[in-house]
Amino acid sequence: MGNKNELLQKLENGYSKFSKGQRKLADYIREDYDKAAFLTAAKMGEEVGVSESTVVRFATALGYNGYPEFQRALGELVRMELNSIQRMEVTYGRISQGEILSTVLQSDIEKIKLTMEAIDHEAFEMAVDTILKARKIYIIGIRSCAPLASFLGFYLNLICDNVIAVHTNSSSEIFEQLLRVGEDDVVIGISFPRYSMRTLKALEFASNRKAKVITLTDSVHSPMTLYSSCNLIARSDMASIVDSLVAPLSVVNALVVALCMKKQKEVIQTLEMLEDIWDEYQVYSKDELNMIGDRVEFSDSKKDDEEENE
């Protein structure tokens, strides 16, 4: 919210000194900042009826180093303020129906590239070591981040003891589960815009209890970084009503692989033990599909056993 006030404050403070063209731009941004954030300087000039250079000069007059920095400030504001319906209008106004699939996939590729270029390798290594040394590992992700938390929890459970996927239906439920968190534990908080106040409060609580806090979030300016000792930053710009969580999932995958490499023996033993359990209790016998010639059939171990006995 602070970003919006800061940007709007700059527009307000300078308004009386602005030229006629700059006032037009200020009015347009105040009215339509959600659309403005996606425009090039030339396109914004076209929308407002001023030249591209007027737009660029306007950005520097507001105290930004150039148009890209000004556009980033607008982008931050949009991420915090835009509701789902407006997001859809913004996005679908920009791409045609036939281009949606390739545009969204391309956008996800870009997010992974940007994440790869910017991610802090030391923070990543610190996250791996912290998880390995932790007495208990708590994982928190709410709403659209819940699948990321669930995915991470599923694999960490195969690698580490005492993994707790925090149920997040209510704030009271979260604190009940975090009740005994302490300095030997780690809490992994996953949150992307719109940021979750429940996740933030849980991280604050964990930090006050001297637990290690790792965050997976979209920016160093994210409120989640207030309480963390280690930040994993993955890009997640929206491409409509859906937040792209592809890059964060890649970072989760990398964490899991790094942990597996550090605990290879234990992981192999766990998987071998699981295979034995699955066989003994026929966990997958009815679920597995086999190709028989050109037909697909369910495998049925009982039937197989009977045939062998005959």
Can you give the pTM of this predicted structure? 0.64
Q: CA-based Rg of the chain, rounded to a whole angstrom?
A: 25
Assigned CATH topology for domain 120-262: Rossmann fold (3.40.50)
Determine the pLDDT at residue 124.
Answer: 96
Contact indicator for 144, 245 with CB cutoff of 8 Å: yes
pLDDT of residue 4: 42
- The list of the chain residues with pLDDT below 50 reads 1-5, 239, 301-302
CA distance 55 to 42: 8
Other Cβ atoms closer than 10 A to 207 = 17
Predicted local distance difference test score (pLDDT) of residue 120: 93
Nearest to 216 by CA among 234, 201, 203, 199: 234
Domain-by-domain residue ranges, the chain? Answer: 2-81, 120-262, 276-309
Q: What's the topology of domain 2-81?
A: Arc Repressor Mutant, subunit A (1.10.10)
What is the C-alpha separation between 1 and 48, in angstroms, rounded?
26
Domains 2-81 and 120-262 share a fold: no
Burial class (CB in 10 A: 0-12, 13-18, 19+), 286: exposed
